[in-house]
């Protein structure tokens, strides 16, 4: 009778222990205590990223400035008074006249020389038969021919002087500035107006000298104009300088772009991202997962051990990085789980509670905001509604 009573008293405790153990799955303790008797709620909560090789672009980011391919200050080529002048903002075609210098003196000289040329031409035509018939000597004919050549050259020069009274543009564009006004006296070399054509533009940027052997003509580049309500454009480097600036220790690159809609304007600033290298199989981690101290660069891993996860400190060597991502060159293997949230609250040998385990870098790194995990999505797959600010794998 005493033995039967003892068994009845022990039965509820056995049932309670069975229910507690049945709540654990996949080797993680979700309630109660772990094998060592430590309550799971008291363990440090972490989130991990399971490492798998992925593509990575080593990108160099810099700031570039927009310049017009056609931007010229046009000067006078003759002396005189400005009689006509286009206004600022006027659109002028290729070869269009932007200013006129008083041409009356040059035109009068042109008419005089045209008359002299016509006379010399008629004289030559009349004397040529006489020369063929030996009526006039070769010396006389040569003098007549020389006078014809002289007047012809003088006439061409006079035509050029008349042409130089017109200030024309060598490309289509808009008058951006005027340096003289109507009625002003000018001489050869006097700046008249600045004309800018923006149908095609270039973006200039300075690249740090350490990338001098990595970036060349034809290298892929992405230009971001969204700060001006523009778009993101993909192009290639059209010029890569060979000389390093001693002041900035950079070398120049240029990227030419079509600008038919005129939205890109000189002196605008663009974010320039140049692809230095493309890595097909890389172990990419969030830069926030890296822990640095006086001994070097480390990661904390969550390694499964029986029914718990134990923290391991791993020394690593980092490779290229871009934005919030970095490549691990050595010290890490595919399949290992890197702690990406909570790594600053653990130490080697700690037992931790893995609340989320992500398989993609896009989903990793979502901060733990409390015991309520609603909205985080399912483990392994990451959040069902990731923030638009999360970095994306390139």
Q: What is the pLDDT of residues 242-300, one digit of tens each?
A: 999 999 999 999 999 999 888 999 999 999 999 888 888 889 999 889 999 888 899 99
Based on DSSP, count helices (H) and strands (E) in the chain, helices before strands: 3, 22
Average pLDDT, the chain: 82
Q: Which two tokens stand for residue 331?
A: 């010290």
CA distance 350 to 276: 40
Model confidence at 25, pLDDT cuts 50, 70, 90, reads: very low
User: Is the predicted pLDDT of residue 47 greater than 80, yes or no?
Assistant: yes
**Helix 104-132 vs helix 138-163: angle between axes, to the nearest 10 degrees?**
160
CA distance 65 to 307: 58
Buried b (16+ CB within 10 A) or exposed e, 172-201: bbbbeebebeeeeebeeebebbbbbbbeeb
Model confidence at 54, pLDDT cuts 50, 70, 90, reads: confident
| 321 SS3 class | strand
Domains identified in the chain and CATH numbers: 25-53+283-384 (2.40.420.20), 60-69+195-278 (2.40.30.170), 103-164 (1.10.287.470)
Model confidence at 133, pLDDT cuts 50, 70, 90, reads: confident
CB under 8 Å to 179, separation ≥6 — which residues? Answer: 73, 190, 191, 192, 193, 194
- pLDDT of 7 reads 35
- pLDDT of 71 reads 93
**From 93-107, 142-156, 172-186, 292-306, the region with the lowest mean pLDDT:** 292-306
**Within 10 A of 129 (CB to CB), how many other CB atoms are there?**
10
What pTM was computed for the model? 0.60
Per-residue pLDDT tens for 70-119?
999 999 999 999 999 999 999 999 999 999 999 999 999 999 999 999 99
Counted residue by residue, the chain has a size of 394
Q: Which two tokens stand for residue 284?
A: 């990419």
Per-residue pLDDT tens for 218-242?
998 999 999 988 899 999 999 999 9
- pLDDT of 372 reads 34
CA distance 160 to 162: 5
Tell me 359's DSSP state.
Answer: S
């Amino acid at each position: 009778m005493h033995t039967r009573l003892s068994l009845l008293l022990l039965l509820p405790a056995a049932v309670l222990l069975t229910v507690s153990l049945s709540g654990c799955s996949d080797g993680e303790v979700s309630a109660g205590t772990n094998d060592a008797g430590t309550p799971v709620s008291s363990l440090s909560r972490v989130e991990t990223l399971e490492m798998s090789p992925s593509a990575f672009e080593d990108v160099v980011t810099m700031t570039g400035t927009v310049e017009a391919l056609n931007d010229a200050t046009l000067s006078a080529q003759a002396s005189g008074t400005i009689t006509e002048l286009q206004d600022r903002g006027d659109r002028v075609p290729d070869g269009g006249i932007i200013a006129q210098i008083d041409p009356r003196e040059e035109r009068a000289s042109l008419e005089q020389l045209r008359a002299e040329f016509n006379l010399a031409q008629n004289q030559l035509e009349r004397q040529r038969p006489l020369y063929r018939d030996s009526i006039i000597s070769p010396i006389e004919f040569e003098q007549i021919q020389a006078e014809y050549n002289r007047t012809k050259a003088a006439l061409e020069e006079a035509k050029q002087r008349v042409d130089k009274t017109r200030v024309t543009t060598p490309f289509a564009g808009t008058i951006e500035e005027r340096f003289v006004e109507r009625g002003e006296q000018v001489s050869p070399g006097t700046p008249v107006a600045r004309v800018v054509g923006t149908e095609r533009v270039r973006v200039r940027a300075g690249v740090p000298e350490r990338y001098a052997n990595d970036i060349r003509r034809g290298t892929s580049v992405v230009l971001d104009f969204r700060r001006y309500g523009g778009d993101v454009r993909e192009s290639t480097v059209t010029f890569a300088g060979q000389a390093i600036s001693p002041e900035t220790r950079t070398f120049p690159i240029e990227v030419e772009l079509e600008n038919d809609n005129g939205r890109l304007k000189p002196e605008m600033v663009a974010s320039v991202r140049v692809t230095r290298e493309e890595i097909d199989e890389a172990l990419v981690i969030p830069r926030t997962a890296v822990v640095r101290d006086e001994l070097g660069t480390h990661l904390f891993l969550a390694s499964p051990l029986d029914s718990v996860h134990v923290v391991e400190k791993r020394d690593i060597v980092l490779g290229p990085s871009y934005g919030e991502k970095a490549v691990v060159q050595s010290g890490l293997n595919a399949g290992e789980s890197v702690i990406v949230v909570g790594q600053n609250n653990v130490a080697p040998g700690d037992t931790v509670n893995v609340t989320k385990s992500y398989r993609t870098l896009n989903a990793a790194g979502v901060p733990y905001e409390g015991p309520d995990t609603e909205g985080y999505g399912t483990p392994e797959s990451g959040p069902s509604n990731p923030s638009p600010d999360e970095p994306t794998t390139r």
